[in-house]
Structure 1
């Protein structure tokens, strides 16, 4: 049945970037694959508004393609005005594609009086092919864990969600000179990479249950940081052949290695990068490190350092009219 033309009103959605802290099942010896840990962050947002009227200004071709795909799937009229106020940077490992698809799809579905369930929207846009954390952070925020893919999975199910401690902050190390693997390149890499061993997979899964989650709930910064570091090592061993080493950017890699040598355990790369991160116990310590790195790398304008907290709330949705 074709969707009805909605009355004149506006739907606005604001959603947040996320850090993909790592997969915990990169073996092929189990019935499910992938399964991942992620957290919503406040440093980057996708914010947009859609109204039922003619497009007022040229729309970014990437967003326009997402919009058209969604309208075709809903059998809806094509006459909508989309205003994108902010967009998460693309190909940095911050979840830009999933959040844009969910924001556009959710706003449109509210205008069309259709179901706005995030997993249904994600399926339309083929998001969540391996990780469901961006879908889960859109719906709930905080730290989330998804169950990966089984034989009949459409979107990876969320297994756990918990508020991230407000005091803990991440310092992001951003290399603006390059992009992380995406699209067909990402698909090809997954086809070619050798699986992790079952023993290593079982070990990191046990650590997730016995150390990572308990440490988060008890706000044990040291134990949680160590788990993140070990999870990142498990992932880096797997992805290294496709990205030329444990991290996609050599500049970011050098900084992360130095931070490890200084005793920081919660260090790693989000998704395919090139964005790296270090977890710190307070905003003050994150800002202090940010200032140190800005000074030390003042001659490298392509490097950026951003302090961010976690977001423990879902995407914001507002309807006018």
Structure 2
């Protein structure tokens, strides 16, 4: 079916990357599974424009395939142009696939005067199979907790959302020499990994409710950092067999270990990595640590160090008129 667009116009969408701080149910018990904690970050964005005209500009084939799949999900045969200004790095644990999918879907739906429902868009593209935090950060920003998957779950539901303290900053450790697990490799890993014990699962869920979230709301940096460290340890025990250790990158692992020896607790790996992160109480401290690492690893071209704050705002969707 062809859609009729009343006037030539475009829609711009900007969304942010996210850190997947970890799952809190990897027990494999019947009922609900997974459940995630994540936070939107400012360092990386996906920004694109969908225009009501045939494609005139070269576009990444991966993103173009997302556009075509979305149009097919709407049963539409409509010529639209996709222009990508920025994109979150792929296979780095920052949520690039979900954010590109939601940005394209929201742009198309807004352009065609269709409802923008992130959960429905994600489900149409088979996003949110295990974690719903990317959908929640697209809609809300901040720190989010999703409820995992039950027998009839379409996408994991949002359980909690809170603003992340603006003073706290993350120092990201990027290893460009490798990718995190993704696609069929990720699916096979989840099939082969052994579930964790119910006792450890109950412990981390208790910490989430009685330490992590209260500490965030009360801006207790040390208590929240200790929760993040415990959540990361719980996840590392599960994922280690699939990635050769607690972290996907040995370079990132060495740096995180050094920070742990210095007493930092809120550190780990986002999703399958290879990106690592360290939570620090201020931008000044994060930049000081960044400068030290840049000097220490000046000869390692595959490593980069990025300071970023959290983002407490939702994605931006803007309808633009085009002058003839």
TM-score (norm: length of structure 2): 0.98
Q: Deviations over 1:98-155 (max 9, x none)?
A: 0000000000001111111110110111110000000000000000000000000010
Moved more, 32-41 or 57-66: 57-66
Residue 296 of structure 1: how far off its partner (Å) = 0.5
Residue 257 of structure 1: how far off its partner (Å) = 0.4
Q: Does 1:46 align with 2:46?
A: yes
Match of 1:318 in 2: 318
C-alpha contact (below 8 Å) 1:173/1:277 kept by paired residues: yes
Match of 1:265 in 2: 265
Superposed CA RMSD: 0.9
Q: 1:147 to 1:283 in 2, by over 3 A?
A: same
The secondary structure found in structure 2 opposite 1:13 is strand
Distance 1:92 1:53 in 2: 33
Distance 1:130 1:106 in 2: 21
C-alpha contact (below 8 Å) 1:13/1:48 kept by paired residues: yes
Q: Deviations over 1:40-68 (max 9, x none)?
A: 00000000001100111121010011000
Distance 2:275 2:146 in 1: 22
Distance 2:226 2:199 in 1: 19
Q: Deviations over 1:185-221 (max 9, x none)?
A: 0000000000011000000000000000000000000
Residue 299 of structure 1: how far off its partner (Å) = 1.1
1:171-320, aligned counterparts within 5 Å?
171-320=171-320
1:85-96, aligned counterparts within 5 Å?
85-96=85-96
Residue 6 of structure 1: how far off its partner (Å) = 4.9
1:9-158, aligned counterparts within 5 Å?
9-158=9-158
Residue 2 of structure 1: how far off its partner (Å) = 5.8
Distance 2:136 2:29 in 1: 26
TM-score (norm: length of structure 1): 0.99
Distance 2:3 2:37 in 1: 37
| Ranges in structure 1 where 5+ consecutive residues have no aligned partner | none
Distance 2:204 2:75 in 1: 44
C-alpha contact (below 8 Å) 2:2/2:78 kept by paired residues: no
C-alpha contact (below 8 Å) 2:42/2:309 kept by paired residues: yes
The secondary structure found in structure 2 opposite 1:289 is helix
| Ranges in structure 2 where 5+ consecutive residues have no aligned partner | none
Distance 1:12 1:153 in 2: 30
Distance 2:51 2:218 in 1: 44
Distance 2:312 2:123 in 1: 24
Structure 1 segments, 4+ long, off by >2 Å, are 1-7
Distance 1:99 1:83 in 2: 15
| Count of equivalent residues | 321
C-alpha contact (below 8 Å) 1:10/1:320 kept by paired residues: yes
Distance 1:76 1:313 in 2: 31
